[in-house]
Amino acid sequence: MSQLSHHDDNNEDYPLVIKTENANTVLQLLRAINFSEMATVIGSPEGLRVVVEEGKCIQASAFLQSQMFQEYHSQDDVVTFKINLNVLVECLNIFGGSSLPGVAPSLKMCYGGYGSPLSLVLEEASVLTDCNIRTQEADDTLEFNFCNTSVVNKIVMRSECLRDIFSEFDYNCCGVPVLEILTSPDPPYFRLSTISNMSTSDTDIPKDSDMIETFSCTKTMRQRYKLALLRPSIKPLTIAQKVLLRTDERGILCLQFMVKMEDNHICFVEFFCCPEEEEEIE
């Protein structure tokens, strides 16, 4: 933190100030949810939540806990704004995002409150970059009302398991391919099926497989989701270590990805997806 400290003058005036030695962790998480252009940033004393939505059907959010930053300062009340995530990711990657561990720019990010831009100061090898990204008034984010009490089935598994399966789907298949997720306390326990015009496929994962860490299903749930809507979950799957798959009584799917960062911090990315309407099946 050499030159960045010069900018320390009036931190207290900003509703949101973040400093980190490693901007790549932020970059990595934001990239994982960058399936749509605009993102809503919600800053609270606990940390920063970046929410991306599409078509009122899917929502992905990355939670950057305050502990993963060297300095995290947020006013007591919640700060929200909307920002172009493509631009933010591009700015964070301005030094080219070296893949070597330990070589990463440091970042200071300030937000001056309603109407002001988000300013980023990135420094790598004494090269400073200032970026100002305009912000917009935040819209309400989708509220899935997904609470723990209504969760019916819960499976914790290693991410490779889902990654291989999800990456093999033929998303461009003609028609509207859907994925049916079956979770049940009885055989076949956990089955992912794709149904498209061309073919059908079933993938059975036994509940005692080494890939599955926890399997707790109380009720047989069979829900269909559009494959295209699930596609954005591949990105967080590739960086995650573990995945928690939950469905509630309404069939809403929640995938929670546990991502272990370079600096051993653990972050979470959440992905919600609405099921297809029952009437549409058959």
- Residues in contact with another protein by the rule CB under 8 A: 161, 164-165, 167-168, 170, 173, 198-206, 208-211
Minimum gap (Å) between residue 208 Cβ and another protein: 7
* Cβ distance to another protein smaller for residue 136 or 200: 200
Q: Using the 8-state DSSP alphabet, how is residue 70 labeled?
A: S
212 Cα distance to chain centroid: 21
Least distance (Å) between residue 231 CB and another protein: 15
| Nearer residue to another protein within complex by CB, 77 or 202 | 202
For residue 168, the surrounding DSSP H or E stretch is: helix 159-168
Cα-based distances in Å from 199 to 10, 34, 169, 174, 202: 62, 30, 11, 11, 10
Instruction: Give CA–CA dist 211/265, Å, rounded.
Output: 23
| Alpha carbons 278 and 107: distance in angstroms, whole number | 47
Q: Closer CB to another protein, residue 109 or residue 212?
A: 212
What sign has the CA pseudo-torsion 20, 94, 86, 15?
A: positive
Minimum Å gap between C-beta 173 and another protein is 8
Nearest CA among 25, 20, 18 for reference residue 267 = 25
Residue whose CB is less far from another protein, 111 or 190: 190
Minimal distance, residue 152 CB to another protein, in Å: 23
Task: Write phi, then psi, for 54 (nearest 5 degrees).
Answer: -150, 130
What are the structure tokens assigned to 192, written together?
A: 């992912």
Task: Write down the least CB distance from residue 203 to another protein, Å.
Answer: 5
Find the shortest distance in angstroms from Cβ 52 to another protein. Answer: 27
| CA 2-24-102 angle, 5° bins | 65
The nearer residue to another protein, 37 or 170, going by C-beta atoms, is: 170
Between 123 and 180, whose beta carbon lies closer to another protein? 180
